[in-house]
Amino acid sequence: MRTLEELQSDLGYRFNDPKLLTKALTHSSHAHESVGEMEDNEQLEFLGDAVLGFLVSDFLFRAHPGLNEGQLSKLKGFFVSAANLVKFAEQLALGDYLHLGRGEEKTGGRAKQALLVDAFEAILGAIYLDGGIAQAHALMSRFFEAQIEDVGDPSVQLADFKTALQEVIQTRQLGRADYVVTSETGPDHEKIFAVDVMIEGRPVARGLGLTKKAAEQAAAREALERYDRTHI
């Protein structure tokens, strides 16, 4: 298991009270099996979920003042969804840090989306308690601001990230990138599109946009960034 020093380095935040971070990583299955009293991360996850909702709303409000309430609500729903949050949890390798009970350990709990997302939200709640809203905002900015700013940004639609991605994956002999619309929400005049970019038959990134073209470019941009980080 990795050390909490490594995780704090990846988070860019050092806890004044390290016990909060330990609690954020403790699943109820482990707490129930432990001798003596041990708190699980459920309360911190509840708090972190609320902090996350507020910060995403704030980011969206400031980045896209021209969007209406319905559009903002749909975008918020996507950004705080488990499908979106799990990739941030995976970037932090949270599965390596979780404290799990024997049953969860045996059934692959370290890779379960629900447990990873709960831990991510619990860490956000812990940072809020330990350092305040400014520190929570700083962490979320790293994960969300670029993604949120891409939605409806003309430069994302005009930039040719799709061609750049294709050049990269051809160099790596990975075939080609395919783009699949995974959802369309809202009425015809204000739809929000979600698009997955598929490489070798598996989804590697998702983009959101007010047009299909913008969503495809956003997905390609996210895939390029992921390639830089992990080498697809």
Q: How many other C-beta atoms can be found within 10 angstroms of the C-beta atom of residue 113?
A: 13
For residue 37, give the 3-state DSSP assignment: coil
CA 164 from chain centre, in angstroms, equals 23
Tokens of 108: 């692959």
Task: Say which of 45, 121, 196, 216 is annotated catalytic.
Answer: 121
Angle formed at CA 48 by CA 33 and CA 69, multiple of 5 degrees: 145
Phi, psi of 169 (to 5 degrees): -75, -25
Question: Residue 37 catalytic?
Answer: no
Alpha carbon of 12 to those of 136, 139, 172, 177, 189: distances in Å? 11, 7, 32, 33, 41
How many angstroms separate the first and last alpha carbons of the chain? 24
Kindly state the DSSP code that residue 207 receives in the 8-state scheme. Answer: E
Choose the catalytic residue: 45, 49, 104, 222: 49
Residue whose tokens read 């994302």: 156
5 part of the active site: no
Strand partners, 192: 185
Active-site residues, by number, are 49, 121
